[in-house]
Chains A and B, each alone.
Chain A
């Protein structure tokens, strides 16, 4: 099994380090995160090249980062600041690839949390959804 990281600026890095991904989340500019594909992805591939799981990251200042985990068969989870009541906060409209997308604001988490969950996913080496974080099925 191996992991691959796709940066917003269209670089593809095999077996990235947690430190590198965290530094992009915490230290790069919002214009960096809205360039290129306007999002990033870490994915795990099995030995035959099939995707085991994916984590998509989309930073939009000032809201934070949207973190989505894709399991098998379009099963999706997102990190949520208010997992008991995702609708507690109002909706915000951001752009993905230039196209508007309206989401609950609670789907955007702090940069620090996003860096932790991405690091945990990378360090797991097994592609499982990191536990100990607030996920909801989206």
Chain B
């Protein structure tokens, strides 16, 4: 038989659970975050005494800003983007609103949501040509062959922000809903736009990888 005290505490516990269930059932169901570039648990050999610097959270040491999944998902839910192939990014910084970008394969589908003319290949080519003219790099080269980052969502958000605001703030944060490819994360990727746009520090936040592109003088360092 229950004592008064234990009955009261049991009742309180049941009431709390019921209230929680009611509360939860009244919440609108949040859309599931698309898991782009999904990483399954592959059976990798790990018996080699290698220095694994992570378990996929290794790069968060450079920034404690969480990935803004909700904003990326809200943009995505207004468009007809592919859950597996398309990528959404946005860049933000002091004094500028969030400026979104998508990969070139998604730009037609997202054109209405992006809401401006000149969101397509012409914009990407314009900045590739600026690199050729101003940095004297990629001269005589074709963008499609040598500069895939210009076709990806991360660079697109930076280009569109530059179109809208002119000079960008010196410190920027970029959120992207897929692990950046190594063309973008490497020295010929976002680093090139950081040099072109004279940004001091670009922090890239993705589902699994976080890094900073930091400009020191005329060179750029990737910090992770």
Interface residues, chain A, with chain B CB atoms under 8 Å away: 6-7, 9-17, 19-20, 23-24, 28-29, 31-32, 35-41, 43, 48-51, 54, 56, 70, 73-74, 76, 95-103, 138
Contact = CB atoms under 8 A, between A and B. Distances in A.
A12 B137 contact: no
Nearest to B85: A98
A12 B182 CA distance: 12
B22 interface: no
Nearest to A34: B37
B21 interface: no
Chain B: interface residue count, which band?
A: 35 or more
Nearest to A2: B51
Contacts of B146: 74, 76, 138
A6 to B, nearest CB: 6
Contacts of A6: 182, 185
A13 B151 contact: no
Contacts of A73: 137
B80 interface: no
Interface centre among B42, B105, B209, B219 (most CB of A within 10 A): B42
B33 interface: no
B48 interface: yes
Interface string B47-72: 01011111110110000000000000
A12 B54 contact: yes
B51 A99 contact: no
A103 to B, nearest CB: 7
Interface stretch (B1-9, B157-165, B186-194): B186-194
Interface in B172-187: 178-187
Contacts of A138: 141, 145-146
Nearest to A28: B42
